[in-house]
Structure 1
Amino acid sequence: MPASHAAVHPEPLLVDVRSRPEFESGHVDGALHLSLERLVHDAPTVLPDKDARLLLYCLSGARSGMALQWLRQMGYTQAVNGGSVGAVALQTGRSIRRL
């Protein structure tokens, strides 16, 4: 029997690379906060699986683009830039939550 689509293609982990105040003001439900400033230092601990599917986002897509380049240099193979918080919310069908 073939594996289910969900087992073969699990949902990506959403990673918000904005600042803590930006994250708290509104982030995609279920997203992990890993600010761009801490990314290189914290990624190995927070994101130990370098083959995990990661969907990065920020306010416009610029910082998440930088984060994507850094993560690829660090060996992450399945990271993609989702662009803005709004685009990722629409793409994933998740709501925006505030802390």
Structure 2
Amino acid sequence: MKKLVSLTFVFLPLVATVGCSSSDEATPDQAMSDTTMVAQTTDTTAPASDTMMPVENVVIDVRTTAEFAEGHLDGAVNLDLEGGVFEQQFMSLGKDGTYSIYCRSGRRSAVAVQMMKDAGYTYVIDLGGLEEAQEATGLEIVK
């Protein structure tokens, strides 16, 4: 819709100028301005993807407790994927929440995301490794 409005404002003056001209011949200036006019539009709609989510977001670190203690994203919750209780722990979280998952390299986070999606969780995002997650969220790494 915004593109249509933008194009209307670009081409309406062109049509008015050409349509209101008393001469059938175009002057060099008119010909030049007609050929150099460029419509520039910006699509402001957000892309549809699985990264679109409600405002509230729980960041989950699925690394071991020792890895978590070495440094994690500020505010992240540690649910150790390999500790044997990950499924039990995430099942206590609401299925309608938004969960962003990360680990050290991205392997464990991918496994955790798939487990949660298979269990019916709707908004689950794989942030990959710690550095990727930090870049994507803008959160500080804290100890």
- Aligned pair partner of 2:72 in 27, 30, 36: 27
Larger Rg: 2
Show structure 1 runs of 4+ deviating over 2 A.
Answer: none
Q: 1:9, 1:44 → 2: CA distance?
A: 19
- Per-residue Cα deviation, 1:47-83 (whole angstroms, up to 9, x for no partner): 2x11111110000110000001111111111001000
Task: Return 5+ residue gaps in structure 1 as ranges.
Answer: 1-7
Structure 2 counterpart of 1:65, one-letter code: A
Q: 1:43, 1:51 → 2: CA distance?
A: 12
- Aligned pair partner of 1:41 in 88, 102, 112: 88
Residue pair 2:56, 2:97 contacting (<8 A) in 1 also: no
Q: 1:65, 1:77 → 2: CA distance?
A: 15
Output the TM-score relative to the length of structure 1.
0.83
* Distance apart, 1:9 and its partner CA: 3.4
* Distance apart, 1:22 and its partner CA: 0.3
**More relative contact order in 1 or in 2 (CA 8 Å, sep 6+)?**
1
* Distance apart, 1:41 and its partner CA: 1.6
Quick check: which one's strand share is greater? 1
* Distance apart, 1:11 and its partner CA: 4.1
Identity %: 36
Match of 2:105 in 1: 60
Output the TM-score relative to the length of structure 2.
0.59
Residues paired across the two proteins, number: 89
Q: 2:102, 2:140 → 1: CA distance?
A: 14
Residue pair 2:60, 2:77 contacting (<8 A) in 1 also: yes
Match of 1:87 in 2: 132
Match of 1:96 in 2: 141
2:135 aligned counterpart, secondary structure = helix
Q: 1:40, 1:60 → 2: CA distance?
A: 20
